[in-house]
Structure 1
């Protein structure tokens, strides 16, 4: 396992000091859900870690959304992504955005608490390995979740509120499933007298893939006259209320260009055959054909570095392949 692709979350060690708990037996603490809690004074601080977490989570969610949908009719454009985060219209893609955003908040809270913020209740006093990030706040993540993505224990919520909270919870579940428990024995005997345990969390692209599977099995819900959901919904499934628009067709109101005449995702994919195959699949899904054109583009080349500190490049013409739906 490549440790650089994971963030190490140490739960309890012998040097652990926490004013909210006196537990120092590792296996007991590991039965408690991963939680994070910030001091009440956090809101009044000049630098607000919660705002930083939200900022980081938005960028993380958008970047991974674009990557996971890069070969779909809806490829998570920035404007539409931001609109779906706050819109009252909840289609299938909006449900994905809500779940991914919730997961990104929790993931960012874990990674940003790895020594970046000092407003944590619990502190560690241990050596830090170069490849690991020691999390300094691990007491109550539920309070942070409720603060940032809402409390799903609310009683009087409408259909929209139910769907939003359900999808937020699905995002949290994806993060919980990404946690992996590991322990290491040490001491002078074979009885494992001293045991150090920690949690590994998978990379966020893996979490995004898990939420994409939830999206693929998304369920449209309807509410009966009593205000109850008509069918039982699994906690891991995404729910949506509105049908998705036809992303193959141009929509001026929402700023969606459609697929006709559009560049079929011609980007950094170097394998021409692979790119053409994916473009053909993308265009055919909209009842269109793929068209390949060879065009001349100018790119910087023959760059030279001049001390100090300037880089000068020439412009070279290059013949490249571009694909369009028609």
Structure 2
């Protein structure tokens, strides 16, 4: 009887161990299938995105998941570009392509000031997207930034540490890996030694440094009843609007360099093309090589080497749609969205437009919101 009892106990443990081992195998198989599916989807993306260079394709097949987030960063960059240039003759609309790769656009193959901004904003977009994906655990080959940074005690009012004790913690966005992947993905396109490749590499770096210079310090309070006796702080990548505004300011002060600098390796040795004098005498004078003995360090400026066209007329070779049919602000006198600027002297037409939207919404207990449909008619100005 005793022998029979021990036999039953032994069988019971064997069943338990076998089921546990089976669950572990099933769990491992499920994870393997999930990773295989993610790799399949990502690798399929590598084959369907047009315009990738040979080096980018190799990187995509080697790190497919990271490339997917890089493409998401490119998409965010194009949207931010459209926001920043929504009132300009060139409004980045041609950069939004079905293949999600703005580099198939002819504009990015030119040396215009607008192309300099596009290169910088796309480089920043990939940096931010990869940095956030690493810290959120969506990428397996990177993680949180574990480095401890030396920060000043005097910060902005929103993140002021005052005299409160604080320590590094949380999960800082992995800026280092974000900049590294952005450099690998975009700089690999520039294999030539001509001035266009050198300018593109420079503007790519300006975009990455814009992210690095605007990293934010975020903190969480700890203590009894919210006393905030201790703060845990981490570094987070900046909001994309901050980067867009920063690079737009650099676009306004972008510097045109002389194309005779072909053989020069360092950008600080580039010669600047003499800028035309501005009407406002209160503004500081533009730097010229004749007035300074030493060359100016251009490492933080956007550079371009080709004068931009007017962008008034459609140009299929540049993927420029022109301004015909663009809505403009007839009451504006500014240099951007005014009809005088956007319509390029062709004039504009007034078109009555009907707009339908939800209105007079009410909350009904419980739990829905009922709205009425209202239509509005307004006159808009459209360039001829």
Q: Same fold (TM over 0.5)?
A: yes
The range that moved more, 93-102 or 178-187, is: 178-187
Indicate whether 1:292 and 2:350 are aligned: yes
The answer as to whether partners of 2:108 and 2:119 remain within 8 angstroms in 1 is no
CA distance in 2, matches of 1:236, 1:143: 18
Kindly state the Cα deviation for residue 248 of structure 1 after the two structures are TM-superposed: 1.6
Please give the secondary structure, in 1, of the residue aligned with 2:184: helix
Greater relative CO (CA pairs within 8 A, separation 6+): 1
Q: Deviations over 1:11-62 (max 9, x none)?
A: xxxxxxxxxxxxxxxxxxxxxxxxxxxxxx99547xx222112211111011
Q: Please state whether the residue corresponding to 2:382 is helix, strand or coil.
A: strand
SS in 1 for 2:314: coil
Identify the residue that residue 193 of structure 2 maps to in structure 1: 157
Cα drift, residue 157 of structure 1? 2.9
Cα distance in 1 for residues equivalent to 2:60 and 2:331: 51
Secondary structure of residue in 2 paired with 1:277 = coil
Deviation at 1:207, TM superposition (A): 0.5
**Aligned partners of 2:171, 2:125: CA distance in 1, in Å?**
19
Q: TM-score normalized by structure 2? A: 0.54
CA distance in 1 between partners of 2:376 and 2:244 (Å): 36
Q: What root-mean-square deviation, in Å, do the aligned CA atoms of Structure 1 and Structure 2 show? A: 4.1
Equivalent-residue separation in structure 2 for 1:108 and 1:301 (angstroms):
34
Matches within 5 A, 1:129-168: 134-135=171-172, 137=174, 140-141=177-178, 143-150=180-187, 157-168=193-204
Find the counterpart in structure 2 of residue 169 from structure 1. Answer: 205
The residue that corresponds to 2:327 in the other structure is: 264
Partner of 1:20: none
- The number of aligned residues is 251
Alpha-carbon distance, 1:158 to partner: 2.2
Q: Which residue in 2 is equivalent to 1:201? A: 237
Provide the rounded CA distance (Å) in 1 between the counterparts of 2:319 and 2:62: 39
Per mean C-alpha deviation after superposition, the further-off stretch among 52-61 and 114-123 is 114-123
| 1:31-50 mapped onto 2 (5 Å cutoff) | 44=62, 48-50=64-66
Contact kept in structure 2, 1:85 and 1:97, CA below 8 Å: no
Residues 133 and 278 of structure 1: CA distance in aligned 2, closer, same or farther (over 3 Å): farther
Alignment partner of 2:82: what SS?
Answer: helix
5+ residue gaps, structure 1, are 1-40, 126-131, 188-192, 266-274, 303-313
Normalized per residue, the structure richer in helix is 2
Q: Is the 8 A contact 1:220 1:239 kept in 2?
A: yes
Is 2:82 the counterpart of 1:61? no
User: In the TM superposition, what is the alpha-carbon distance from 1:174 to its structure 2 partner?
Assistant: 0.9
Match in the other structure for 1:109 = 130
What is the CA-CA distance between 1:98 and the residue it aligns to?
0.3
TM-aligned CA deviation for residue 115 of structure 1 = 2.2
Give the distance between the partners of 1:213 and 1:194, measured in 2 at CA: 38
- Partners of 1:206 and 1:85 in 2: CA distance: 27
Deviations 1:160-190, CA, capped at 9 Å, x for gaps: 1210111001101110121134678989xxx
Which protein has the larger Cα radius of gyration, Structure 1 or Structure 2?
Answer: 2
The match for 1:234 is: 298
Give the whole-Å Cα distance in 2 for the aligned partners of 1:200 and 1:136: 5
